Amino acid sequence: MQTYFIELSYLLASILFILGLKGLSHPETAKRGMHLAEFGMLMAIIGTLMHHEIVTYTWILAGLAIGSVVGLAMGVWVPMTAMPQRTALSHAFGALAAALVGVAEYLKGAGHLDTVTMSALGFEVMLGSLTTTGSLLAFAKLQGMVRGTPMTYKGQNVFNMLLLATTVGIFIYLVINPGSMTLFFIMAGLAFVFGLLLVMPIGSADMPVVMSLLNSYAGLASAATGFVLSNKVLIIAGTLDGFSGFILSILMCRAMNRSITNVLFGAFGSATTAGESGEQQGSMREVGLEDIATQLAYANKVVFVPGYGLATAQAQHAVRELADVLEKRGVTVKYGIHPVAGRMPGHMNVLLAEANVPYSSLYELEQINPEFATTDVSVVIGANDVVNPDARDNPSSPIAGMPILEVDRSKSVVVLKRGQGKGFSGLENPLFFKPVTGMLYGDAKDTLTRLVQAVQHA
Ligand code: NAP
């Protein structure tokens, strides 16, 4: 009876995870998807707590209490802008748990493990360990605790490959001779070091790709744990996690027209790649706030293009207010959303949803690009790389081929940014030097708030 209940709760949990993932594939159903996945997790936990192997609940309850308090605090106090580093920290904990389960199972088996169990266990410890340190470094880079730009040295890729080959070599040896405990811990230690070295040469804006890849490793490590523990829900959830993370990494790379190897080994955003940027073309034209307010107030169609600067300025509510006053005056307002604007997938969608911007006003790249020709004013808010026309016009640009929001085709472009700072790629942006473009300097939130007042009086 107990076994049936466990199997039933695991089956239900697996179905809910799949439905949850399906829900997450669209912003309108994302919230429901999240709730379904949460309910699935509850089912999985209840099923696990029913296991007859459990001798005492004391430690489990202690873990549950600590985890709930930490989780609740993170959910309540971590701001939206810190979501990428929060995710990195969660990955690190999840992966560490998988690695520790692997170590415990190895010690329990005391070297007498069959080939299949040792393969799954070794895989779990190796991936779990490298994901732990890789995610911790990703967290530190995103949180600004260590330098966010790529850290490189001569022969780095060769050294990393050699280290990986040695770790995998030990793993293979252990599958054949599981009894060598010293080698088991050396493998785990090397994997911990490899995780750090893997993330070191990657710039912080590429972290979402790396994290989604690390997430995929953590998922596969969990699936391996499922094989070791003969736990079906872990196998299913781990595999879903593993492959969805991998697919997301590929999609992000495609949106930047870069290969996954370029992200992992190209040290993109470092001084070397940035040095290939073009010369300055003329000078930027600064425009007054009142002039821009008049342009906006008397426009037929305005498109807002948010980027990373909107997130750092926390200007999502201010842009919504500006849209409201413009719409009240009969202006059509749309938002152009680039798939990799900001620092994590869906970054702009999350921020704008927080400010209650209706989903129907958000337009994806393919939908909005044909509309720029009929747009009176495009307002670029803290975006840079995702509107860089060099990606379209200059085949020698390091970002050549990356799909962009073609704001330069609008009748007028207004760029809100603090100064002459470059985007993540470190490249100059010819858009800022075009005659059609006017620059309005200042923190995006402050500028937008002042624009709201100016439009009201226009
Ligand atoms: P971006 O190219 O990084 O540019 C952001 C701009 O915002 C900067 O030029 C900066 O100029 C301005 N800014 C910063 N703080 C501001 C503030 N408080 N107020 C006003 N402006 C501010 O951003 P993006 O156009 O969104 O492009 C995202 C980049 O990240 C792309 O290169 C993309 O490939 C990369 N990336 C993203 C993801 C993802 O999942 N989203 C994944 C991998 C890589 P000032 O300093 O002059 O203000």
Domain boundaries, the chain: 78-265, 289-456
In ligand 1, the atom with minimum distance to the C-alpha of 313 is 18
pTM of the model: 0.78
Ranges 42-51, 204-213, 314-323, 347-356, most confident: 314-323
- Residue 110 is predicted with a pLDDT of 73
- Residues annotated catalytic, as ranges: 385
Q: What is the per-residue pLDDT across 71-125, written as a single tens digit (0 to 9) for each?
A: 899 889 887 778 788 888 988 998 999 899 999 989 988 768 888 889 989 999 9
Spacing, Cα 402 to ligand 1 middle (Å): 15
Q: What is the per-residue pLDDT across 420-454, written as a single tens digit (0 to 9) for each?
A: 898 888 889 999 999 999 999 999 999 999 999 99
**If you average pLDDT over residues 392-401, what whole number do you get?**
86
**If you average pLDDT over residues 383-389, what whole number do you get?**
96
**If you average pLDDT over residues 348-364, what whole number do you get?**
91
Ligand 1 touching residue 383 (CB < 6 A): yes
Q: What is the per-residue pLDDT across 119-143, written as a single tens digit (0 to 9) for each?
A: 989 999 999 999 999 999 999 988 8
- Asked if residues 86 and 74 have their Cβ atoms less than 8 Å apart, the reply is yes
Report residue 144's pLDDT band, with 50, 70 and 90 as the boundaries.
confident
- Asked if residues 439 and 285 have their Cβ atoms less than 8 Å apart, the reply is yes
Contacts of residue 410, defined as CB under 8 A and 6 or more positions apart, other chains included, come to 303, 372, 373, 375, 376, 377, 378, 436
Q: Lowest-confidence range among 42-46, 178-182, 203-207?
A: 203-207
Q: Lowest-confidence range among 222-236, 260-274, 319-333, 399-413?
A: 260-274
Ligand 1 touching residue 351 (CB < 6 A): no
**Max CA distance (Å), the chain:** 80
Pairing of strands 362-364, 377-381: unpaired
In this structure, CATH architecture of domain 289-456: 3-Layer(aba) Sandwich (3.40)
Report residue 224's pLDDT band, with 50, 70 and 90 as the boundaries.
confident
Spacing, Cα 371 to ligand 1 middle (Å): 23
DSSP string, 65-93: HHHHHHHHHHHHHS-GGGHHHHHHHHHHH
Spacing, Cα 342 to ligand 1 middle (Å): 6
**If you average pLDDT over residues 223-240, what whole number do you get?**
89
Ranges 56-60, 177-181, 255-259, 323-327, most confident: 323-327
- Residue 209 is predicted with a pLDDT of 84
**pLDDT at residue 279 tops 70:** no
**pLDDT at residue 258 tops 50:** yes
